[in-house]
Structure 1
Amino acid sequence: MKSAFRNAYSTLSRSLNPIPIPQFSLILLFPLRTAITDSLTTIDKLRPLSATRRCYSSSMEEGEARAPPSPSSTLEKQFDEFRHRLDESGSLRERIRGVAMEIESVTRLMHSSLLLVHQSRPVPEVLEKAKAQIGMLKELFHRLAEILRECPGQYYRYHGDWKSETQTVVSVLAFMHWLETGSLLMHAEAEEKLGLNNSEFGLDIEEYLIGICFMSNELPRYVVNQVTAGDYDCPRKVLKFLTELHTAFRMLNLRNDFLRKKFDGMKYDLRRVEEVYYDVKIRGLAANGDSMGDQGIQGES
């Protein structure tokens, strides 16, 4: 029975596998198949890894290209821009100061000419020398306006570089105008003499007022010298002018600044002229007719 079953199994095996493979061949083929399988698996594993590396490298390059600039480069760029701006501003300021120094020089010549009026020189002769310099002042202020057109909207940024010179110019021009006409030089008249345009480069109101206050400082000395020279009617004229000017200034709401201090100085100029006038009147030297009487300062602060 066992023999018959063995023969049947052998017959079935030959029919299914007509070329029998020895056992040692199977032993040799198994390691080879394993090696090939391992190689393919390794290749499959390495292939996506290299692709991943390429994707990672490209992502790094894109990230570096899109990365914002470093803080140090941004800081350097900002201060480099500041340096250029400060250099331009410094160059512009030097040009303005150069013109302001020329204005000061011309004004000093005009003022030295006007000092001769205290020595009882004829007024027309004194004014002729001073008036000859007005054309130069007009040209210098025109040059100053041309410089400021290069930086529109920054008038008050550089205003301090020429404001003191402007105050002195207004003072000299106002004194000349009073000597010639006996009246105050108006703001519009001062702008016209200097060739200034209020819409572009005008005369600042505060500088004009300070210049008028400076002009009032010259009047007490002028009165004393004129009385000494025998002009006893001069104190009356100057007192009338200063009283009207002082009254007009009292209309302004002045703060505790430089203009307020100069206005307070005008009050003392008025008192000095008033004392000279009273002294002339008491001595009977005042001219008859248009007399001021015992006029004083009412309601002083």
Structure 2
Amino acid sequence: MSSNGVVDNTSIDTTIFTSLQDKIDEETKTREELKDIVEILTKQGRLTQSLLARIHNCPTAQLQAQVLQPTAQSIQEQVITVTRLGQTASKYPFYKWNGIWQRDVQNLISSLQLYVWLSEGKLVTIEEVGVQFGVAVNVKETDTFHVTIEDYLLALCSTIEELSRLAPNAVTLGDFARPVQISRFIKDVYAGFQLLNLKNDALRRRSDGIKYAVKKVEDVVYDLSLRGLLSKEET
């Protein structure tokens, strides 16, 4: 109470703000710790994507030596970084911090998907992604670093976009069979997406774009067919 008899309610315990500052400092330290690792992953990812970009001007016969072999090594270096990131990130709530690394992890998944398709002509599953990265997939524990279904599907959308670019470029390089392979694959993926009831707005918008990729590649195949550049089996 003040000297004039009025109750003084303006006094505030300053330790409240001291405690808040401690929490702010702790979060800043966590963010910087994670960002340091993600910056390495980003740099490695740029190299991987640069290597894979060669598919658009590399003849199929030279693909293994000029693209796939160096890409495999680059992806492996990223996997080592992701393992380190997972060990660090698992100490903190996943969905509080995953925005820091989400884009880079999606890019790595897309690179792996593209690499596997070019090497084996198949779709890599989310479980196989987890095995390759040495991390969990689609887990419920809030603190465990993992690959989410959304990350996997968004990456797949990027992979399809890249393959739709490859189709006409392959024709330019004289590979008329590649667009047919791409067409079959992305049609199957598109059919798979039709089975999904997507709640994520960003994912739904990206997946809608697959139908345009399908149409783009279909036009390439149709043009090749009209020109008589495909065998009956391919047609």
**CA–CA distance in 2 between the matches of 1:231 and 1:268?**
22
Of 88, 93, 101, 1:162 maps to 101
Q: Is 1:257 paired with 2:198?
A: no
2:44 to 106, 109, 115: 106
Following the alignment from structure 1 to structure 2, what is the Cα–Cα distance between the partners of residues 72 and 205?
Answer: 51
* Cα root mean square deviation, aligned: 1.6
What whole-Å deviation, never above 9, does each CA across 1:182-217 have from its counterpart, x for those lacking one?
A: 111110111112111345322111011100000111
Task: Encode CA deviations 1:40-69: one digit per residue, 9 max, x unaligned.
Answer: xxxxxxxxxxxxxxxxxxxxxxxxxxxxxx
Cross-structure match for 2:64: 124
SS at match of 1:83: helix
Confirm whether residue 150 of structure 1 aligns to residue 74 of structure 2: no
Query: 1:155 Cα deviation (Å)?
Result: 0.5
Do 2:179 and 2:220's aligned partners in 1 also have CA atoms closer than 8 Å? yes
8 Å CA contact 1:178–1:184 kept in 2: the answer is yes
Aligned position for 2:30:
92
* One of 66, 76, 80 as aligned partner of 2:18: 80
Picking from 213, 216, 223, the partner of 1:279 is 223
Per the alignment, residue 180 of structure 2 pairs with: 236
User: How many angstroms apart in 2 are the aligned matches of 1:72 and 1:146?
Assistant: 44
CA distance in 2, matches of 1:265, 1:87: 42
TM-score by length of 1: 0.69
* 2:81 equivalent among 137, 140, 146: 140
CA distance in 1, matches of 2:19, 2:11: 14
Structure 2: segments with no counterpart, 5+ residues? 1-8
What is the deviation of 1:138? 1.8
What SS does the aligned partner of 1:261 have? Answer: helix
Structure 2 partner of 1:268: 212
Q: Structure 1: where are the runs of 5+ without partners?
A: 1-69, 292-301
Instruction: List, as ranges, runs of 4+ consecutive aligned residues in structure 1 with deviation greater than 3 Å.
Output: 70-74
DSSP 3-state at the match of 1:218: helix
Give the total of aligned pairs. 219
Q: Where does residue 206 of structure 1 map in the other structure?
A: 150
Higher relative contact order (CA 8 A, sep 6+): 2
Distance 1:124 1:208 in 2: 25
Query: Partner of 1:297 in structure 2?
Result: none
Partner of 2:132: 193
Percent identity reads 29
- Within 2, Cα distance between the matches of 1:150 and 1:225? 45
TM-score (norm 2): 0.88
The residue type equivalent to 2:22 in the other structure is H
**Alpha-carbon shift at residue 109 of structure 1 (Å):** 0.4
Q: Deviations over 1:149-201 (max 9, x none)?
A: 332xx110001011011111111111111100111111011111211134532
For residues 132 and 200 of structure 2, the distance between their equivalents in structure 1, rounded to whole angstroms, comes to 31
- Give the 5 Å matches for 1:23-42: none
2:153 equivalent to 1:216: no
What secondary structure, in the 3-state scheme, does the structure 1 residue paired with 2:20 have? helix
